[in-house]
Structure formats: structure tokens, C-alpha cells
Amino acid sequence: MIGVEGLPLVQPGDDVGEVIAISITKNGMTLEDWDIVVVSQKIVSKAEGRLVNLGQLRPSKRAEELAKLTNKDARLVEYVLKESKRVLGIAEQALVVETYAGLVCLNAGIDKSNVSGKDTYSLLPTDPDGSAREIRSKLRELTGKNVGVIICDTYSRPFRNGIVDFAIGLAGVRPFKDYRGTCDLFGNQLKFKLVATADEIAAAAELVMGQGTEAIPVAIIKGLASVELDNDIKSTELIMPTSRDLYRGSIR
């Protein structure tokens, strides 16, 4: 795992794949086939202009009501509502929502950290898998290498204290390693072991990337034999359908 340092501050309109390729070369690093390039959601959102300034917005009545309950800026709540399919819960400073992509998270992933400008916030990319595919194909064009790309972001979780990184966009790298049907050390058949390796890679990358204060928005993971590259990838496979989620309904 290597953090890519020295990236320039990404601006709307920048090509993230190109910025990464240039920084890798500048750092004296090289990409190899099967490397996995993990990219922070924040620079993808910035490059894609997924930034909003609250100043321009007049909040709806519902946003004003929820703003009172959460002690949040009603204009920010309005943006959370725009990005969300459903509001699942209300807490101090937080709305638990399900985004249109199906992600259950706080405040629809709308975030102020590492975004310049008073009252300017970043939204999640509209199509993170598409963003990942663009970065992957640009890296292939500029380096000739066949790599996987994971777009990661930091989230809170039920039951566990502290935040960790998940994969929110994928290109070329499978979300899972599937042990189901294989046998363990003693010949017992494994029935349930579908490992979310893409989430584990995102979590691993956070350890070298940090939270922006370190200015390392990209990490390269080399030598991961457990990972299989594939072309037809959807990160939404990492989202558990409500009907199959054993925890839903049981966590009060």
C-alpha cells in the first residue's frame, strides 16, 4: 500500500485519471498490471463539479422542519433531501438517509471537509462506477497498464464506533472474493463466506490516505493476489437489498 503524495488541489473540470498518472510519474512510482488504484471520493466530486454553495438555495418547508429537529442548516438539509430516496432517522446534526444509489449513510454523504469556500459542500459523484471507469481508462491510456480502480469514502456504521472507508465506486475490480462452496482446512464446506474485498481494500487505503489533512487522496495497492479483475462491475452489489438484510428490523 503506497499513498500518492503531492497531488495538486483538484478543481472542477480536472481529469482525475490524468492528475493521478502525472503525480505517480512525478513521485518516481510506476503502475503495474493488476495494481488497484484507490481514489478518495472528494477529489472525484471536485473534478466533476459536484459542489454546492448553500447561499443560492431557499429551503423547502420539510427541510426547515428537519433542520429544527437536527440543529442543521435548513439549506444543507434541503440538499440532503435532494440526494435521498428516503429519510430513515433523525439525530443531532445528522439525518440517516438512503441515497438514490441505495447507500444508507448520514447526510447523504454531503460533506464540508477539504472543500474550500464558506458554505460550499461536496456531494457524492452521480455515477461513481462511471467515474471509476473513466479514471481506469485514462490510466490505461496514459500508462498502458490494466489496473482496477476503487472510489472510496468514509462512513459511520451501525453498532461500531468510529468511521471507516467503504468502496462506493468500482471499475475493473470485483467487489467480492467468494469462498462459498469451497472447503476449509478440514474439508468442511464454507456456506456463507462472501468477502467484501473491495470494502476491505478501501479500508486499507484509508490507513495511508488519512482524512485529507495529509493531502494523500490516492493510494496504490500492489500484489493483492486475492483480487480478480473483471470488466462488468457494479458497486451496487456491495449494497445489501433490504429484504435480505438480516439486521434490518432487528436493530432497535
Binders of a second copy in range 114-143 (CB under 8 A): 114-116
Among 160, 231, 232, 243, which residue sits at the site for a second copy (rule: CB under 8 A)?
160
In whole angstroms, give the CA distance from residue 168 to residue 75.
Answer: 25
How many residues bind a second copy (CB under 8 A)? The answer is 75
Minimum separation from the CB atom of position 77 to a second copy (A):
15
CB 148, CB 246: distance < 8 Å: no
Contacts 24+ apart (CB under 8 A), 113-121: 113/42, 113/211, 113/212, 114/42, 114/212, 115/42, 115/46, 115/51, 117/51, 117/53, 119/53, 119/54, 119/55, 120/51, 120/52, 120/53, 120/54, 121/51, 121/52, 121/54, 121/76, 121/79
Minimum separation from the CB atom of position 84 to a second copy (A):
13
Site residues for a second copy, 196-215, by CB under 8 A, read: 196-197, 199-201, 203-204, 206-208, 210-213, 215
For residues 56 and 93, which CB has a smaller minimum distance to a second copy in the complex? 93
Site residues for a second copy, 67-106, by CB under 8 A, read: 88-91, 93-94, 96, 103-104, 106
Minimum separation from the CB atom of position 245 to a second copy (A):
6
Minimum separation from the CB atom of position 141 to a second copy (A):
28
Q: Does 65 bind a second copy (CB under 8 A)?
A: no
Minimum separation from the CB atom of position 144 to a second copy (A):
26
In whole angstroms, give the CA distance from residue 8 to residue 11.
Answer: 9
